[in-house]
Structure 1
């Protein structure tokens, strides 16, 4: 499965807003909601609500992408995001606010880097793991016309 690389970047922008809100208001419901989004998107990026918003509201107004990216790195990045939000929720529910703040802040930083600079840390981690096990893959492929 190949994805328009602008969709995960859009999703990262929405995630940045959600996680910033969670940090500002101590929003456990926001973290739970973001965890659900991460879980759905990790299962299938086409089913993620932020991807749906991108395909419905943004993509029709843009030219077709010139390159596509494989879904596997995006799925891995969503799993990493889910892990960080899960740690944040553990911190919230066990009375360890520093853990919650640190994990939320780390997830926020990663989402911000992706949204702002197109630097997906989880995707890079996935591609690095693939290289380490001797099964490298390309990050992007040209889109067919």
Structure 2
């Protein structure tokens, strides 16, 4: 991967801050359409690329120009994977709330909120930490054992 394809690590952390607020509002209100909208945001980052996530666009347009250049850059693959994990939890939470399985909605949303908060507050990305483990497992399971 060329250095120009690496991302400013402050962008995903900014997105995690917005996500934390959105998910907290969902937990407080139980308003599942907001969780569904967050699932769409996660899907954009995971499947189209971080560049196409609404929160990344906001970061690049409004926040990044006010900051100096990043001290370092990071591979976008782990944060994209984390967006995919967030998408899965948001979909499960949305289905839970929408079908009356409120406890499922609360648990899934709470877990996503925990992950987003850890990233926003401490720069610790759970999904990013899972990425190499899952990748190693996928590579090993795809090896020819014959």
User: Structure 1 length normalisation: TM-score?
Assistant: 0.88
**More helix by proportion, 1 or 2?**
2
Q: Which runs of 5+ in 2 are unaligned?
A: 141-146
In 2 relative to 1, CA 134–33 (structure 1 residues): closer, same or farther, beyond 3 Å? closer
Q: How many Å apart are 1:101 and its aligned residue?
A: 0.3
Alpha-carbon distance in 2 for matches of 1:7, 1:71: 11
Q: Which runs of 5+ in 1 are unaligned?
A: 136-145
Question: 1:42 matched to which residue of 2?
Answer: 46
**Aligned-residue RMSD, C-alpha:** 1.4
Q: Which runs of 4+ in 1 moved over 4 A?
A: 131-135
Equivalence map 1:1-145=2 (5 Å): 1-43=5-47, 44-131=49-136
Preserved contact between residue 93 and residue 107 of structure 2 (Cα < 8 Å):
yes
Equivalent pairs, count: 135
Alpha-carbon distance in 1 for matches of 2:139, 2:81: 18
Q: How many Å apart are 1:94 and its aligned residue?
A: 1.9
Q: Which has the larger radius of gyration?
A: 2
